[in-house]
Amino acid sequence: MTDVHTPREQAAAQGEETVSFGITETEPDATGSGAGTGPSAGWLRWGWRQLTSMRTALVLLFLLALGSVPGSVLPQQGSDPAAVQQYYASHPALAPWLNHLGLFNVFATPWFAAVYLLLFTSLVGCVVPRTFKLAGSARTPPPRAPRNLGRLPHSASFPSSLAPGAAVDAAAAMLGGQRFRLRRPASGDDGHWVSAEKGYLREAGNLLFHLALLGVLVSIALGGLFGYKADKLLVEGQRFSDTMPALDEFHPGRLVSGSDLAPFSLTLDRFSASYLRSGESRGQPSDFNATVTYSPSPGAPSRTYNIRINDPLSVDSTKIYLIGHGYAPVFKVTDSHGNVAYNEATPFIPANTGTFLSDGVVKASDASLGFMGVFVPTAVSVGGTLESAFPADDFPAVSLIGYSGNLGMNSGAPQSVYQLNTAGMTKVAGSPHLMLPGQTWTLPGGRGAITFVGVKQWVSLAITYDPGQVPALVCGMLALGGLLLSFLVRRRRVFVRAVPAASGSGSVVTVGGLARTDASGGFEEEFAELAAELAAQQKPEPNNQSEAGA
């Protein structure tokens, strides 16, 4: 916790004057047994000091990074619940254990929050006192010049043609010109000297780093409290308004409610996916393009935009990303009386993302009919089985299995739109039935009919709002800047004393220098240059300059 001093610096500090760097080096002993406080207060202070120490902060930061590893390696409930289910299926023994440890929802686990909050407290406890200290040290003038400058790590001495007062004045003018902060003896004080200090930016950089780090944490917290993430599946031609019931999934921050959603509305006009038609990577996608018309708020004029991968639409501060796509065959179902009971583009979910062979269900509850289907964009028969040869809709076909009876929806229990509960239903004879666009399958027994009208495409949109994103970036850059400053800038002091020369005319000038030892080197050279410059400035007739340096 305390800074390590070199013997030389300690020797220097033993001088009459205080030559320490004030605050950063006056870390008091951390015994915590101050007079007049009980043992519990001592323990509290000890605990607080441990928590706010740099070492603890680093350990916590490391733990935070370590904790995020499973969050990025394992599937997460919040971002991809389907992948978690898949993981359960493929690792039936391991998954429950991981779940006990909260590894499928790392960022919401109490242990992650504990590390996060402790780090936050540690940083606050470290930075706040430092702010006060820097403010104090910025006001404090450099210390008085030590009496014996020869005992400082760097010193030089030379004769000057000027009288002691004038020699120090000249030195002070030169040091002041080099943006040193100066201190001169008070009136009536002994001797002629000047103290100069430079490099306050080092501490400022250090502080900036800490404050910016705090800012990063606050930014992340902002995102967690006020941000949200939502998913919406939209078929070509469909429009939706950004409101909770319209969203397929909604993951709000702690302080987000439905009325905080950006009030935009958006229509998917057209989606196109291009695929490579030849070569080794035939079938690989080459471009995705979702053309949308949107209105930032009700009544505002509409605009169009092409959403592509990595080119999201920004509406105010909300970003809308294209994260998936698929086919939505359009079906029309008529009931036993010939009434239309269902006419809708029905999103099918790709089971094979290479060929876009997709699964889906049609629920015509009002005709007491349900269908489980397989859609293929480019139909081929592989040994009698329907397969897809290419992801583009070159030759679309569906194969349907029909069911008649009660779909169980009127009981009120919410159902997945991608699953058909066939418990109370009977399979229709003639299933599975292969259909091409425009074809109608008239079900046996006068149960009704289904027409495969055509094919549309759907896109999956991720709607995200993260108010902490920009502040986190800015703070990250500030932290880097602060770190660089604290690495590159050295806090250093130069003292100049002048005494009348023995000969009676002129004076002998002694220069002493002191730099932080844990800073990067280079002060020796700087000091030597300074001393040489001073000596040259006041050069007497005969050149009698002493060696400079430590």
- Contacting residues toward other proteins, per CB under 8 A: 26, 28, 34, 45, 48, 52, 117, 120-121, 124-125, 128-129, 132-133, 136, 221, 225, 238-246, 254-255, 257-259, 261, 263, 265, 267, 298, 332, 335, 339-344, 363-367, 409-415, 417
Length of the chain: 550
Please state the closest distance from residue 44 (CB atom) to other proteins, in A: 9
Please state the closest distance from residue 510 (CB atom) to other proteins, in A: 29
How many Å apart are CA 123 and CA 463, to the nearest integer?
33
Q: 364 or 461, CB closer to other proteins?
A: 364
Please state the closest distance from residue 127 (CB atom) to other proteins, in A: 8
| 8 Å CB contact between 63 and 55 | no
Measured on CA atoms in the order 8, 14, 15, 18, is the torsion positive or negative?
positive
**Which letter does DSSP use for residue 143 in this model?**
P
- Residues linked to residue 270 through DSSP beta bridges, in sequence order: 291
**Which letter does DSSP use for residue 17 in this model?**
S
Please state the closest distance from residue 131 (CB atom) to other proteins, in A: 9
Q: 11 or 23, CB closer to other proteins?
A: 23
How many Å apart are CA 107 and CA 111, to the nearest integer?
9
- Kindly give, in sequence order, each residue whose CB lies less than 8 Å from that of residue 530, ignoring residues fewer than 6 positions away: 175, 178, 494, 511, 513
Q: 129 or 522, CB closer to other proteins?
A: 129
- DSSP string for residues in 382-449: ETTEEEES-SS-SB-EEEEEEEEE--SGGG-----TT----TTEEEPTT-SEEE-TT-EEEPGGG--E
Please state the closest distance from residue 3 (CB atom) to other proteins, in A: 15
Q: 90 or 259, CB closer to other proteins?
A: 259
Please state the closest distance from residue 32 (CB atom) to other proteins, in A: 11
**Burial group, residue 389, by CB count within 10 angstroms (0-12, 13-18, 19+):** middle
Q: 122 or 388, CB closer to other proteins?
A: 122
Please state the closest distance from residue 140 (CB atom) to other proteins, in A: 11
Please state the closest distance from residue 366 (CB atom) to other proteins, in A: 4
For residue 31, the SS3 value is: coil
- Residues linked to residue 318 through DSSP beta bridges, in sequence order: 315
Specify the pairing of strand 397-405 against strand 369-376. antiparallel
Please state the closest distance from residue 550 (CB atom) to other proteins, in A: 30
**Which letter does DSSP use for residue 6 in this model?**
P
Residue 503 to residues 339, 499, 500, 507, 545, Cα–Cα distance (Å): 123, 11, 8, 9, 16
How many Å apart are CA 296 and CA 307, to the nearest integer?
15
- Residues linked to residue 370 through DSSP beta bridges, in sequence order: 363, 403
Q: 268 or 485, CB closer to other proteins?
A: 268
Please state the closest distance from residue 409 (CB atom) to other proteins, in A: 4
For residue 249, the SS3 value is: strand
Q: Say which residue the tokens 């120090």 belong to.
A: 168
For residue 266, the SS3 value is: strand
Cis, bond preceding 301 (omega within 30 deg of 0) = no
How many Å apart are CA 16 and CA 144, to the nearest integer?
9
Q: 245 or 504, CB closer to other proteins?
A: 245
Q: 299 or 383, CB closer to other proteins?
A: 299
Q: 29 or 190, CB closer to other proteins?
A: 29
Q: 264 or 356, CB closer to other proteins?
A: 264
Please state the closest distance from residue 88 (CB atom) to other proteins, in A: 26
Q: 31 or 353, CB closer to other proteins?
A: 31
Q: Other CB atoms closer than 10 Å to residue 63's CB: what's the count?
A: 17
Packing angle of the helix pair 39-51, 110-139 (nearest 10 deg): 90
How many Å apart are CA 264 and CA 315, to the nearest integer?
7
Q: 8 or 49, CB closer to other proteins?
A: 49
How many Å apart are CA 25 and CA 9, to the nearest integer?
11
- Where in 58-176 does DSSP place strands (E)? 154-160
Please state the closest distance from residue 463 (CB atom) to other proteins, in A: 13
Q: 40 or 259, CB closer to other proteins?
A: 259
Please state the closest distance from residue 25 (CB atom) to other proteins, in A: 11
Please state the closest distance from residue 16 (CB atom) to other proteins, in A: 18
Q: 44 or 470, CB closer to other proteins?
A: 44
How many Å apart are CA 409 and CA 424, to the nearest integer?
11
How many Å apart are CA 525 and CA 548, to the nearest integer?
10
